[in-house]
Amino acid sequence: MEAFLPAFPDDAIAATPADCLRLLARGAQAGIDGVLVTLVGIEGRSSRSIGTQMAVLADGRSIGSFSGGCVERAVIEEARDVLVQGTPRTVRFGAGSPYIDVRLPCGGGIDLLFTPAPSPERIAAALATLERRRCATIDLSGWRQTYRPRPRLVALGHGEDLAALARLARRFGLAVEAFAPEGDPHRDPDIAPLTLRTRLPDISGDAWTAFVFAFHDRDWEEFLLPQALALPGYYHGAVGSRATHRARCEALARAGVPAHRIDALRGTIGLIPGARDPATLALSILAEIVQDYNACAGAPDWMASAPALPAHHAA
């Protein structure tokens, strides 16, 4: 059996749902068929949620996982058999499975839908839709799978706090646009210069964007923060103490920012109370951003998704 080979960038922490589509697209370009495997049912406990996916190519390359590694090899073998047969099937792994030698560590059972030879055109269309930062939906043998655009972080600030947040967010896989004042000694080459205190850089927001202000000098917030609050996003936050945040909100009210936008602004941001050092603060803020993305980001966009695209080739 071929080695289990991940197929995402070397600097990525783990595969994303869209990476499964990208592997299948790369395989199709090379003339290699593949199978999209989707978790569609759970009995008992599972380390993954409904909708989790793996992609498997005919040559054994794969991406994604359903456990800590105890079922992936069996999934790869099943996927290659599905390719030979050419028809979709749903297979139980774990409790209640005919594979008595494959058990999940949590003791539960999972039902996996194997969709062979997904249409390269449909996959390309889904990836193009995600690049436009819209939800993409594919119909997999009666199962409707929706892919969300990856979260984007727009961060403005200075010092080590901003640099650490931008580095960590990129490593996690967010699309990051970071800006710091010219002359900031901690401004990395991938952090753009911020030249004007009165006007935001050429940035935009959407239902999948988080805005973070990491200035400890509130002079930079006076004009830029009201402009950022006017942009769509699922998260707007600014670092600072409770007293700093009260003063910030009062200044925003005097500037004419609507009350509902002020109320949406997070203060004392992050999930780790009292985080002080740059690395811990960055982790604390990133965890909150990801938590909110998973919980509710882009909810209106889900409703506006295009009709499902059939993924399986016509016979």
Position 2 scores a pLDDT of 42
Position 305 scores a pLDDT of 40
**What count of other Cβ atoms lies within 10 Å of the Cβ of residue 219?**
9
Position 1 scores a pLDDT of 37
Position 284 scores a pLDDT of 97
Distance CA 162, CA 179 (A): 9
Distance CA 297, CA 211 (A): 13
Can you tell me the mean pLDDT for 270-275? 90
The domain over range 152-297 is classified in CATH as 3.50.50.60: no
What band does 11 get if pLDDT is binned at 50, 70 and 90? Answer: low
**R_g over Cα of the chain:** 23
What band does 168 get if pLDDT is binned at 50, 70 and 90? Answer: very high
Query: CB-based contacts of 4: which residues, under 8 Å, 6+ apart?
Result: 62, 69, 72, 73, 76
Position 270 scores a pLDDT of 95
- Answer yes or no: is pLDDT of 3 > 50: no
Q: Give the bridge partners for 263, in sequence order.
A: none
Can you tell me the mean pLDDT for 50-59? 94
Element (H, E) at 57: strand 53-57
> pTM of the predicted model, to two decimals?
0.85
pLDDT tens digits for range 90-103: 998 876 556 655 55
Position 218 scores a pLDDT of 82
pLDDT tens digits for range 175-221: 999 999 988 888 888 899 998 999 999 999 999 999 999 998 788 99
What band does 49 get if pLDDT is binned at 50, 70 and 90? Answer: confident
For the chain, domain boundaries: 17-148+306-310, 152-297
Q: Find, among 195, 270, 269, the residue nearest to 238 by Cα.
A: 269
Position 120 scores a pLDDT of 94
Half-sphere exposure of 193 (CA within 13 A, CB side): 5
Distance CA 238, CA 260 (A): 16
Distance CA 135, CA 44 (A): 30
